[in-house]
Chain A
């Protein structure tokens, strides 16, 4: 049993990975590589369809709305607001050993385009996070990979400091 790799399809396998302290990281492919390359340069870039003039995320080989392949990658400011969030206290995911926030961010450039970037929220208490909170990107290095992360923007209201 000790030489067998965990079966990720089972609860036991997920717990085995957790016990091994496996920290999950992205496995980029041809379509997604530009996102992660930009992050290595501390840049947040997402896809923009030049045919129907809309951003999309996650990246796809073609536009999910109009199916055009005239997609380009655009740098965005990293400013956005919180679309929704959870506070995870159950801690089922390997690599996460203390309660944490998962949020979905709407970048300000893509206000009408239904773009949601998944992230954690760092730099404040879990209970400081609120709906529509303004946030901004930073880049966190994990095992040689850079992950875009978000923290409260300077004008966000931090409850615990009041």
Chain B
């Protein structure tokens, strides 16, 4: 999918400090991040007329309070929810269709609630719905389910953990260059292979870091974007997956890229080789090689060979991956961090993390089979 009538750009980025404990109320940090994004762009908050707020817990976010706190006076569009590149696409559609001119997309992270838990009735000990076939056997958490996917993937393509280990290792190198990252000590291959086993083959260093904080980006129309502070970063194309089966692994049998990938390349009129920077969702490290192959960035089964040693995927390498450290080392932002870092790189603002060639970035959000992907470019 692409916007039909005009180009839409990301023009402002805002961050609060990512912390291990929540230090301020959610609405306060959301407002802080949004104001910073507006200021970064050089747009007065009163001009902004659209907002998307995401939280992963119930109750839903206090969007009206946040909007008022930012100084939005005429809220014409509000749709909450979605993760990473997906709400960027939905916001772009709203701008393109004339429902609004500018949208703040803000993620609030709060570590109190884990991401998904077994829904056991505490009164009866019983589990209903599809979980009744899993939780009685001790399968109830994402970190276990990804282990099932990861072992099958590595077995199918004869990939070793020692190869895929270079993803968390290199991402940790990147985090050490990122002032926003929570992880600040280096990781060697020995460190990785000695890290605690969670659900074999998943280790501690395969899991992302829970953090608290708020992170925002501002999007607007091309004509307005050109008047603001930074080089516009355009959302060229994006798509959500049509696959909905909860634990879908069927796509692993595809030889080439998934239909999702073909759609975004077609809409952007670009190919995998044009993607300079790869922002692959890394809620678990194993998603990264799966996404790389799903998006046709490397041939099926070749991700292990490509990342081994780290040279190809470092910030100075052929195709840097997650130059901010990703969720593994910057912190779990549900894909928001990937978008923000891609924007900074494409602006040429990534400082010591700056990649050599940064005109186009591909971004994926959440699970490799059911997630979304999009392409950002300076053109």
* Interface, chain A (partner B; CB < 8 A): 5-6, 8-11, 13-14, 16-17, 22-29, 32, 35, 57-58, 64, 83-90, 92-96, 100, 102, 104, 114, 116-120, 131, 142, 147
Interface size on B, residues (CB 8 A): 46
- Contact assessment for A8 and B151 in the assembled complex, using a CB-CB cutoff below 8 Å: no
Cross-chain pairs A/B with CB under 8 angstroms, 28 sampled: A8-B118, A9-B113, A11-B113, A11-B114, A13-B117, A13-B122, A14-B118, A22-B125, A24-B135, A25-B125, A26-B126, A27-B126, A27-B127, A58-B130, A83-B152, A84-B151, A85-B148, A85-B151, A86-B151, A87-B199, A88-B199, A92-B141, A95-B138, A96-B138, A100-B138, A102-B137, A102-B199, A120-B138
Residue of B57, B133, B202 with highest tally of chain A CB at under 10 A: B133
- Contact assessment for B198 and A90 in the assembled complex, using a CB-CB cutoff below 8 Å: yes
CA distance A85 to B126 in the complex (A): 24
Closest chain-A Cβ to B249's Cβ sits at a distance in Å of 8
Interface hits, B275-317 → A, CB 8 Å:
none
Residue of B127, B144, B200 with highest tally of chain A CB at under 10 A: B200
Closest chain-B Cβ to A46's Cβ sits at a distance in Å of 11
CA distance A100 to B139 in the complex (A): 10
Q: Which residues of B contact A95 (CB under 8 A)?
A: 138
Top 5 nearest A-B pairs (CB, nearest first) are: A26-B132, A27-B126, A86-B147, A27-B128, A87-B200
- Contact assessment for A102 and B148 in the assembled complex, using a CB-CB cutoff below 8 Å: yes
Q: Which residues of B contact A28 (CB under 8 A)?
A: 132
Q: Which residues of A contact B245 (CB under 8 A)?
A: 64
CA distance A14 to B119 in the complex (A): 10
Return the chain B residue nearest A91 by Cβ. Answer: B138
- Contact assessment for B198 and A93 in the assembled complex, using a CB-CB cutoff below 8 Å: no
- Contact assessment for A23 and B143 in the assembled complex, using a CB-CB cutoff below 8 Å: no
Q: Which residues of A contact B136 (CB under 8 A)?
A: 24-26, 142, 147
Closest chain-B Cβ to A77's Cβ sits at a distance in Å of 19
Contacts A22-B125, A27-B124, A90-B199 aside, 11 further interface pairs with beta carbons under 8 A come to A5-B122, A8-B120, A10-B113, A11-B114, A26-B128, A26-B133, A84-B148, A85-B151, A87-B200, A89-B200, A147-B137
Closest chain-B Cβ to A118's Cβ sits at a distance in Å of 5
Closest chain-B Cβ to A109's Cβ sits at a distance in Å of 18
Q: Which residues of A contact B120 (CB under 8 A)?
A: 8, 17, 22, 24, 94
| B155 adjacent to chain A (CB < 8 Å) | yes
CA distance A29 to B128 in the complex (A): 8
| B190 adjacent to chain A (CB < 8 Å) | no
| B183 adjacent to chain A (CB < 8 Å) | no
Return the chain B residue nearest A22 by Cβ. Answer: B125
CA distance A116 to B151 in the complex (A): 15
Q: Which residues of A contact B148 (CB under 8 A)?
A: 84-86, 102, 104
CA distance A16 to B122 in the complex (A): 10
Q: Which residues of B contact A114 (CB under 8 A)?
A: 250
Closest chain-B Cβ to A116's Cβ sits at a distance in Å of 8
| B140 adjacent to chain A (CB < 8 Å) | yes
- Contact assessment for B137 and A14 in the assembled complex, using a CB-CB cutoff below 8 Å: no
| B189 adjacent to chain A (CB < 8 Å) | no
CA distance A34 to B202 in the complex (A): 35
- Contact assessment for A24 and B125 in the assembled complex, using a CB-CB cutoff below 8 Å: yes
CA distance A32 to B151 in the complex (A): 29
CA distance A11 to B202 in the complex (A): 19
Residue of A94, A96, A147 with highest tally of chain B CB at under 10 A: A94
| B1 adjacent to chain A (CB < 8 Å) | no
Q: Which residues of A contact B256 (CB under 8 A)?
A: none
Residue of B113, B127, B140, B152 with highest tally of chain A CB at under 10 A: B140
Closest chain-B Cβ to A121's Cβ sits at a distance in Å of 10
- Contact assessment for B138 and A88 in the assembled complex, using a CB-CB cutoff below 8 Å: yes
Closest chain-A Cβ to B89's Cβ sits at a distance in Å of 28
Q: Which residues of B contact A94 (CB under 8 A)?
A: 118, 120
